[in-house]
Amino acid sequence: MICQSFETECGYICVYEENGHVTQIKFNEKCFGKIDQNIAIQIEDYLQGRRQSFNFPVKLGGTAFQKKVWTLVREIPYGHTETYKQLSEKLKTSPRAIGQALKANPLPVYFPCHRVVAKKSIGGFTGGIEWKKMLLKIEGCNF
């Protein structure tokens, strides 16, 4: 497995790749490798506001429920948000179950859990609230 870091105003995002598939994206980690150039360009373009979606291959673990939640989150359009409650209604579950699935998301940004907010607040985020605010700002979504 190799990884590459990308510097942002909030710190580093580290992308892990194995055999051409992204396996993890972590915040506040720095590594010194070089991932596949196509993947790196897509990440860099997104962070610069020049890309709205990703088409690189991923390798994904997780439960069937988590995968349903992550797939649903991927359908939230760039620059938009939905609430935990809205997602829970689509999957006929609780907002808390949605939050727990998002907490386990190994590929934030690819499965854009930063686009999921609470009814009256920005909600939580594995990387921290400043990361969530920055990602929403990149997408032109002022929360």
pLDDT value, residue 143: 67
63-117 pLDDT, tens digit each: 999 999 999 999 999 999 999 999 999 999 999 999 999 999 999 999 999 999 9
Instruction: Calculate what percentage of the chain has a pLDDT beyond 90.
Output: 96
Domains detected in the chain: 2-47 (no CATH), 64-138 (1.10.10.10)
Catalytic residue from among 3, 14, 31, 113:
113
57 vs 14, 118, 131, CA distance in Å?
16, 30, 24
pLDDT value, residue 58: 97
pLDDT value, residue 142: 75
Task: Inform me whether the pLDDT recorded for 3 exceeds 90.
Answer: yes
Contacts of 66 (CB under 8 A, 6+ apart): 101, 104, 105
The reply to whether 113 belongs to the active site is: yes
DSSP result, 2-64: EEEEEEETTEEEEEEEETTEEEEEEES---B----HHHHHHHHHHHTT--S---S-B---S-H
